[in-house]
Amino acid sequence: MKISSKAIFKKRHYSEEFKRELVRLFESGKLSVLQLSRLYGVADNCIYRWIYKYSTFNKKGIRVVEMKKSSTSKFKELEQKVKELERLLGQKQIKIDFLEELIEVAKDELNIDIKKKPFTPQFSALDKENRH
């Protein structure tokens, strides 16, 4: 005996009050769409449709994007990483500025030109050993 999918999945009708209540719970931030879906046994795409229809915050043509906790924590981690990298970059820039100033002082006051000139062959310890 073959059972049709219509016999298993009956179309459910929800009251407008119920739909508005789920949208209100979502907008309050207490529950996510996934949590509402599991708690009330309603498909998440239905809840999204109701959010588009009944939300007080949603305007027509604006897509609702729900950030999961993992996405939020990852975003915070990345923000922290950016701050740390910016701090390190600032420290390196200070060091570069200091060294450039040191080179200028050595050149002006001590007549020592230690700045590398373009097209100068590099000197290494191996070259020194080969010359002797």
d(CA 31, CA 131): 77
Residue that is written with structure tokens 């100068």 in the block? 120
Give the pLDDT confidence of 11-31 residue by residue, as tens digits. Answer: 778 898 999 998 888 888 788
Query: Based on C-alpha coordinates, what's the Rg of the chain?
Result: 33
Per-residue confidence at 87, pLDDT binned at 50, 70, 90? very high
Residue 132 within a domain: no
Mark whether 77 and 109 lie in a shared domain. Answer: yes
- For residues 106-132, average pLDDT: 71
The answer to whether 112 touches 106, Cβ cutoff 8 Å, is yes
Mark whether 107 and 93 lie in a shared domain. Answer: yes
Residue 4 within a domain: no
Q: What is the pLDDT of residue 111?
A: 85
Hey, what are 128's tokens? Answer: 């020194």
Hey, what are 39's tokens? Answer: 């708690």
Number of domains into which the chain is organized? 2
Give the pLDDT confidence of 23-71 residue by residue, as tens digits. Answer: 888 888 788 888 888 889 999 889 888 888 888 776 655 666 666 666 6
Helices assigned H by DSSP within the chain:
5-8, 16-28, 33-40, 44-54, 69-110, 125-131
Half-sphere exposure of 105 (CA within 13 A, CB side): 6
Q: What percent of the chain has pLDDT over 90?
A: 19
| pLDDT at residue 129 greater than cutoff 80 | no
Domain that holds residue 105: 69-115
